[in-house]
Amino acid sequence: MKNLKLSLFLAFLSILSAPALSQNLGGHPSGLDWQFIKTDAVRVIYPQGMGAHAQRIAYLINYMDQNNRRSIGGKKRRFDLVLQNQTTIPNGYVGLAPLRSEFFATPPQSANLLGSLDWLDALAIHEYRHVQQNLNANRGLTKFFYILQGETSWALLSHFSIPNWYWEGDAVVTETALSNAGRGRAPFFTLEQRALAAAGKNYAYGKHRNGSFKDLLPDHYRLGYMMLTHTRNKFGNDTSKDIMQEAAAYRGVFYPFSRAMKRHTGLGTPGMYREAWETKKTEWAEQLKNTDLQPTTPVTEKQKRTVTNYRFPRHLEDGSIVALKSSYKKTGAVVQIKDGKETKITTVGFHVEPYLNYGGGKLAWTELSKNARRGNQFFSDIVLYDLKKGKRKKLTQKTKYFSPIVSPDGQSLAAVHISPLQENSIHLLDPNTGQLIRKINNPDNLFLSRPAWTEDGKAIVCVAKRNSQLSVVKFDLSARKDSFGENTMTELLPWTAHTLDLPFVCGGKVFFNASFSGIDNIFYTDLGGSKNIYQVTSVPIGAFEPSISQDGKEVLFTEFTEMGYVVSKQAFDQKNAK
């Protein structure tokens, strides 16, 4: 009977066919001059002007190829990597048929998830781990069908035998182990799991594995990281490698990964999930036990049935609040909240990262657009909404702007600009026409994100990244030199591997969310550059996106729960800050 099942399974696989994917021709603007660097491990294909980035990527991949094989296996093969610089979508992937990778060079604005790790470094570590996974999964039955039918069968059989959470969880383990940052070190990465644990929600492995359109469930990156770190901690670093290789070889036709895990650990995947989940719940409960939590007051109520998110709350002059609202049932829209009543202002278009800001009577965000002719060219354009006139306007066309915010007097707009060659700067634009008024140069090419105006409109504060560390910096617009030179940039915080995001300036202070306490919370420092850090909130799961009332007595922020983000508030008293 066992031989009959195996024969039927092999016969089924032999007739599997995958749809042929045609080459995406004409995906780039004409005139791009493509060049390449070739090493023993990789051939990096890149547009002219991206040579320094390509060399860095090739160096990191070569280093991993030579030094980081023990936990995955010894197979190696040179592959092609295309460095794409015409997109605004931060991503990367590895695929088969043929074996190749693509890196989309524009980084995300928020540092909450990725942490301080430089974007292309993170891609090099994470995606090359996928290359190593694929190469070392080509064995046993998978290799047999690869020889018969090529890389399409290699891809099909390896992904049938190995769950998606292994591929991504193992890559996150690698990026965390090989850097001082990585997602595994960021409390934001375990946000959803900690919220579920605190609420007493314990889902079965099957539901967690397959996801839900109804309930909040962490994705396969987080599931895989939890499962594999527990396996490595209890059974050693090499165990997951042996499990993966036996699963890819189909030592056990049905559920080969779970069977391999049981051979090496005594537990199948459901049992390992339950054990890992209980272990992490105990760790998180102990963390909260040792944390001095402070009460917060809800502004928006936690929904009971539908996961709903309120993001980027901002105080308006009339005492009301605006926020970006979305849910599992509805797409994003800007809402106004006053006296407990919620009113929809306008919808927002498709975006890669959610974002909303307010200044000078105008709401600002960005929306994604695509070149209809060139499949690999994307744009990020600024959209404004005038609250007094009730009018929406797309300010820019076919640009690469991020995190826009209008100045307090409404006469200028600041936004991060990232060129195709990954040159980072802040542009000051006319909020009526979108015309460039001034360019704030960045000779060291720090990665800049999340600009915020000072109250007098004479300086801009933003998050900066260099050498996989973050800080908050202030740029003085009254300085004569239009650059980040001497006497123009002030570092407001020490450079750190902790996450920092979304500064807000009020009363000579800069408020921001950060991971200093082991849980994302709201902190502040002063505009003068003392680099002293004070903690404002202490919540159980995470607090983000601060806004301060005009009288400086109330801090507004988003707080995460098992039903999504809610808006919370807390009285602010400088004397009580830690």
pLDDT the model gives residue 575: 64
- Whether residue 412 sits in one domain with residue 483: no
Mean pLDDT over the full length of the chain: 92
pLDDT the model gives residue 24: 54
pLDDT the model gives residue 115: 87
- Whether residue 547 sits in one domain with residue 408: no
Q: Which two tokens stand for residue 198?
A: 């605190």
Lowest mean pLDDT among 173-177, 313-317, 571-575: 571-575
Who wins on pLDDT, 535 or 483? 535
pLDDT band at 366 (very low <50, low <70, confident <90, very high): very high
By three-state DSSP, how is residue 568 classified? strand
Lowest mean pLDDT among 30-34, 266-270, 411-415, 502-506: 30-34
Q: Is the pLDDT of residue 449 over 80?
A: yes
Would you give the DSSP letter of residue 221?
H
Has residue 255 been placed in a domain? yes
Task: Please tell me the distance from the alpha carbon of residue 34 to that of residue 80, in angstroms, as a whole number.
Answer: 13
User: What is the full DSSP assignment across 285-305?
Assistant: HHHHHTS-----EESSPPPSS
For 243, half-sphere exposure in the C-beta direction (CA atoms, 13 angstrom radius) is: 30
> Strands across the sheet with 79-84, in order?
34-38, 42-47, 79-84, 100-104, 91-95
Average pLDDT over residues 43-70: 96
Q: Is the pLDDT of residue 32 over 70?
A: yes
Q: Which domain holds residue 337?
A: 310-418+425-432
Has residue 299 been placed in a domain? no
pLDDT the model gives residue 478: 83
Has residue 10 been placed in a domain? no
Is the distance from CB of 470 to CB of 117 less than 8 angstroms? no
Has residue 13 been placed in a domain? no
Is the distance from CB of 310 to CB of 301 less than 8 angstroms? no
Q: For the chain, what is the radius of gyration of the CA atoms? A: 25
Among 345, 340, 456, residue whose Cα is nearest residue 407: 456
Lowest mean pLDDT among 376-380, 476-480, 544-548, 569-573: 476-480
- Whether residue 240 sits in one domain with residue 138: yes
Q: Is the pLDDT of residue 484 over 50?
A: no
- Whether residue 211 sits in one domain with residue 82: yes
Is the distance from CB of 325 to CB of 333 less than 8 angstroms? yes
Q: Which two tokens stand for residue 67?
A: 């030094």
- Whether residue 406 sits in one domain with residue 318: yes
Give per-residue pLDDT as tens, 333-365: 999 999 889 999 999 999 989 999 999 999 999
Residue carrying the six token digits 């601060």? 546
Q: Is the pLDDT of residue 237 over 70?
A: yes
Q: Is the pLDDT of residue 38 over 80?
A: yes
The DSSP bridge partners found for residue 428 are 414, 438
Q: Is the pLDDT of residue 19 over 80?
A: no
- Whether residue 411 sits in one domain with residue 447: no
- Whether residue 349 sits in one domain with residue 318: yes
By three-state DSSP, how is residue 385 classified? strand
Has residue 356 been placed in a domain? yes
pTM: 0.93
Who wins on pLDDT, 22 or 144? 144
Write down which residue in 383, 399, 432 finishes a domain: 432
User: What is the full DSSP assignment across 434-453?
Assistant: --EEEEE--TT--EEEEEEE
- Whether residue 37 sits in one domain with residue 79: yes
Write down which residue in 387, 407, 432 finishes a domain: 432
Q: How many domains does the chain have?
A: 3
pLDDT the model gives residue 253: 83
Give per-residue pLDDT as tens, 498-514: 999 999 999 999 999 99
pLDDT the model gives residue 256: 96
User: What is the full DSSP assignment across 57-80?
Assistant: HHHHHHHHHHH--TTT-S----EE
- Whether residue 223 sits in one domain with residue 356: no
Average pLDDT over residues 553-567: 97
Average pLDDT over residues 518-530: 96
- Whether residue 57 sits in one domain with residue 125: yes
Q: Is the pLDDT of residue 22 over 90?
A: no
Average pLDDT over residues 208-224: 95
Lowest mean pLDDT among 109-123, 274-288, 485-499: 485-499
Write down which residue in 227, 256, 289 finishes a domain: 289
Q: What CATH number has the domain bearing residue 173?
A: 1.10.390
- Whether residue 172 sits in one domain with residue 75: yes
Give per-residue pLDDT as tens, 94-121: 999 999 999 999 999 999 988 899 999 9
- Whether residue 285 sits in one domain with residue 315: no
Average pLDDT over residues 50-67: 97
pLDDT band at 20 (very low <50, low <70, confident <90, very high): very low
Average pLDDT over residues 203-216: 94
pLDDT band at 576 (very low <50, low <70, confident <90, very high): low
Buried b (16+ CB within 10 A) or exposed e, 496-510: bbbbbbbbbbbbebb
Q: What CATH number has the domain bearing residue 578?
A: 2.120.10.30
> What percent of the chain stands above pLDDT 70?
93
Q: Identity (one letter) of the amino acid at 362? A: K
Has residue 219 been placed in a domain? yes
Has residue 462 been placed in a domain? yes
pLDDT the model gives residue 327: 96
Q: Is the pLDDT of residue 26 over 80?
A: no
Is the distance from CB of 502 to CB of 450 less than 8 angstroms? yes
Q: Is the pLDDT of residue 485 over 60?
A: no
Has residue 3 been placed in a domain? no
